[in-house]
Chain A
Amino acid sequence: MKTPFIHDLIRYKTLLLMLLPALLFVLLFQYTPMLGLVLAFKEYTYAKGIIGSDWVGINNFKFFFISGNAWMVTRNTVLYNAAFIAINLVLQVGVAIMLSEIRSRWFKKVSQSLMFLPFFISWVVVGTIAYNLLNYEHGTVNSLFRAAGIDPVNFYGTPGVWPFLLVFFNAWKAVGYGAVFYLAAITSIDQEMFEAAETDGANVFQRIWYITLPSLKPTMMILTLLAVGQIFRGDFGLFFNLVGGNGLLFNATDVIDTFVYRSLVENNEIGMSAAIDFFQSVLCLVTILIVNGIVRRTDKDSALF
């Protein structure tokens, strides 16, 4: 009993119309620029333009691989993103459920707004805040340590603490925002189910475990899949503004994007940056195809396509 496509189109015309601006946006700003990927194989000059510049084969990719760091930064990028996805998922769902269970409207709104706020602070500012917190000589944290008689920690000289710091700052900024998705999904759960469960004597944890979480599963899957599709792209703002040019930390904190920035910031080779973007795009595409395939095998409804 498959409904034909045309039928769906007519049936959901209002919703689809609402989708149209976003669709156009994607077409214009995501698909059209893809043509620029040819630059990955060209030596770009202003005079000859995108179409006319000379082909150079895979020459533009070489710098990345002769550096000896290609594997390390790729690994860092994937591991950091995996950590961000997992931790943010747990925190966002947790926060959304807790907020939805709060009965006091006033408290709910205030706490939601406060958690949402960091999303609007740019990474540049977060970088400065972090520096003022963690700085060795007069950072807040070390001043507190000194006052309490604890030895100060040289954060900017200790690579080991940075994975935790980066995950922390990322979560701080992302949780309030991501929770909104799940809050929206929770409100769309059929209230009758909760009422029925209550009548049957289910306590709050049972309600969450057997109703809320399973109902949130499709949302979780979609958002996670979308995030996995970006797993080879490091968040440049986060890593660059928090770590800066501190070579001591690079082994623990360097991702593809910061690495490429450092290598190319002086020489302005558009072809080389396009090459790395091509590299990342291909890896992301492969990843999303594999992961989506696995999801489709196990749970067809949750797959993206």
Chain B
Amino acid sequence: MNSRTGSKKRKLWLSTVLILMLSILVSACSGNGGGNNTTESASPTASGTTEPTVSASTSPEAIDTFEPVTLKLVLVGTKSADTDEVYAEVNKIMKEKINATLEVRFLDWNEYSQKYPLMFAANEEFDLALTGNWLDHTGTARKGGFLELTEEMIKKYMPQTWAQQPPLAFEQSKVDGKLHMISSNAFESGFQVAVIRGDLREKYNLPEVKSLTDFVNFLTTVAKNEKGMTAFGGPSVNINPNPIPIIFGDLERAFVHGSAPLIYELNSPNPKISNYLDDPEYAGRLEMLYEMAQNGVWEKDSIVSKTVWLDAFKEGKTAAFNSNILNAASAMEAINLVHPEWKPEVVDIHPSAKRTRSPFNGGGIAIHATSKNPERALMALDLLRYDKEIWDLTVYGIEGKHWEPVSDTKFKSLPASTGFPPDGVSPWGWRTQEMIRQLEGLAGDLLASTNEKWKANNIVDSKLATFVLDDTNIKNELAALANVQKTYLLPIFHGLVKPADGIPLAKEKLKEAGLDKVQAEMQKQIDAFIQSNP
């Protein structure tokens, strides 16, 4: 072998190594993107420097709180500017009463859906966490992420909660008969209302919007006459479970699981599961959505839209917005401050329809399964829920800076509340009905009167309010159905496919993905549930 081939071979070997190195570096660089869940090295807040000043009288009898502890609390939401200041005040009280300090970690809206489950999977160190049905409470509890709470624990460490929490709240937050969270107990309903631009309604001489027909008529008129404005954001880009609930609000049905188009009647004493695609009333509504899309009520590309429709409405880019009453009232208030000439109107377009309260498992606090101080965590939670001073701090901020009391039950927001918006810094795990102050002004009044009206006339408690589906046997089918819904149903909602063509196809695909099996399993579980909870 002569030297020439030898050097050629060496060159090849060299360039191979070089390229391998480069490509490995590339994979190293690109690999970083997905895994930026670096655990923040939380700096321990000044804790335990002062000698504990435990006054046995304030803490429940015979509970040893001699050892100072730091409790880590995980919340979901945006940490606003003055949060640390507020929680420093909270900790002064906590320290005095139970010799504990809270260290709060916020998972922001854009990251919580990945980070929240990861914190459990990685078994990070934390004691308390916000939970609720929208945070997959059931799944996390079944996977063993939360500590099971027994009656003795609650009686001993959370005496006030034990005394005041309605039994239904305990009942509704159980998973498979076991309790893993202490839920909020404030009344709420997720029923959808609309906010519309009153000035545009008057401009086109339309009557007050009181029904679905009026609402659609208003949107269509705006779409046809107001150039440069989108009448309505349209259906959401997600289908979980129904991307435009306001259109279906009067049908008085509820979903069992977001991944399947299966519904039951709210009022039925013996609920039967059915597929809404078989229901002519729903087909009619889908037809109506198709027509609205053809009339240009929402953008042609609404299914891929990246617009935040609440902001768009506040900026005057759309003529209507739909949401729950809480957000609708605050949108109205925000517009009245900047553009009173738009005359925003909050309207319930299904005034006589029955609706449910949000189930109690909608929000609450759970204890991490591997918490080292579960007792103190429960005691802290009892204070968060029922200590008036702490409650006012965590919900409204510092008195005199962020808010001031108007009466015992009302409050006024101060300009500095941008640093700590009322109800805005994730106090949703301890919304205690008795503690709530009403915001002074139009929005607060509207909220209070609407809630009163609904409680008196519209709220029904569905038989299945406390039913939680056990998906063990149908996990595969639910995953497949979730995909079919997004592929074949969502375009129908957005009016991209004619319902007459789309519905049969969607039904066929749903059937292939195992809808019948899921329906039978749900019905079986529901029947058993009704039998044991008559």
Contacts and interface: CB of A to CB of B under 8 A. Distances in A.
Nearest to A123: B33
B524 interface: no
B300 A157 contact: yes
B18 interface: yes
B306 A267 contact: no
Contact of A184 (B18, B480, B484): B18
Contacts of B478: 267
Interface string A1-45: 100000000001001001100110110010000000000000011
A223 B489 CA distance: 41
B303 A247 contact: yes
Interface stretch (B23-31, B263-271, B431-439): B23-31
A263 B475 contact: no
Contact of B513 (A19, A68, A246): A68
A245 B237 contact: yes
Given A25-B28, A156-B300, A272-B475, A266 B240 contact: yes
B258 interface: yes
B123 interface: yes
A62 interface: yes
A263 B479 contact: yes
Contacts of B33: 122, 237
Contacts of B306: 127-128, 131
Contact of B483 (A69, A137, A244, A272): A69
Contacts of A272: 475-476, 479
Interface in B140-181: 140, 142-145
Contacts of A1: 1
A66 B23 contact: no
B513 A66 contact: yes
Contacts of B120: 46
Q: DSSP majority for the B interface? A: helix
A188 B15 contact: yes
Given A66-B476, A262-B486, A25 B15 contact: no
A62 B301 contact: no
Interface string B224-268: 000000000000011010000000000000000011000000000
Interface in B1-56: 1, 11-12, 14-25, 28, 31, 33
Nearest to A48: B144
A250 interface: yes
Contacts of A245: 237-238, 303-304, 486, 490
Contacts of A248: 303, 491, 496-497
Contact of B259 (A59, A68, A266): A266
A68 B237 CA distance: 23
A63 B369 contact: no
A104 B471 CA distance: 66
Nearest to B237: A245
A222 B259 CA distance: 44
B424 interface: no
Given A63-B480, A66-B477, A244 B237 contact: yes
Interface string A209-248: 0000000001100110010000000000100000111111
Interface residues of B, number: 63
A185 interface: yes
Contacts of B278: none
Size category of the A interface is 35 or more
B512 interface: yes
B139 interface: yes
B75 to A, nearest CB: 19
Given A218-B16, A267-B475, A22 B24 contact: yes
B484 to A, nearest CB: 7
A135 interface: yes
Contacts of B18: 184
A33 to B, nearest CB: 10
Contacts of B304: 131, 156, 243-246
B299 interface: yes
Contacts of A122: 33
B405 interface: no
Contacts of A12: 17
B19 A222 contact: yes
Nearest to B299: A137
A263 B369 contact: no
A29 B496 CA distance: 44
B121 interface: yes
Contacts of B489: 247
B509 interface: yes
A286 to B, nearest CB: 21
A47 B143 contact: yes
B294 to A, nearest CB: 13
A18 B14 CA distance: 12
B496 A157 contact: yes
B117 interface: yes
Contacts of B121: 46, 270
B483 A259 contact: yes
B23 A59 contact: no
B341 interface: no
A247 B488 contact: yes
Given A248-B491, A248-B496, A219 B299 contact: no
A135 B304 CA distance: 9
B413 to A, nearest CB: 34
Given A46-B123, A46-B369, A301 B491 contact: no
A154 interface: yes
Contacts of B144: 45-48
B514 interface: yes
A203 interface: no
Given A66-B477, A154-B300, A269-B479, A222 B514 contact: no
A83 interface: no
Interface string A285-305: 000000000000000010000
B237 to A, nearest CB: 5
A136 interface: yes
Contact of B145 (A23, A46, A218, A262): A46
A67 interface: yes
Interface in A140-175: 154, 156-157
23 contacts: A19-B20, A47-B145, A63-B475, A63-B476, A66-B480, A67-B513, A131-B304, A137-B300, A184-B18, A185-B19, A218-B16, A222-B20, A237-B33, A244-B303, A245-B238, A245-B304, A245-B486, A246-B303, A247-B489, A262-B486, A263-B482, A270-B121, A272-B479
Q: Lowest 4 CB-CB distances: which A-B pairs, in order?
A: A47-B144, A63-B476, A63-B479, A62-B476
Given A245-B237, A248-B496, A262-B483, 13 more contacts: A15-B14, A46-B123, A46-B369, A135-B301, A181-B22, A222-B20, A248-B491, A263-B480, A264-B482, A266-B482, A267-B139, A267-B475, A268-B117
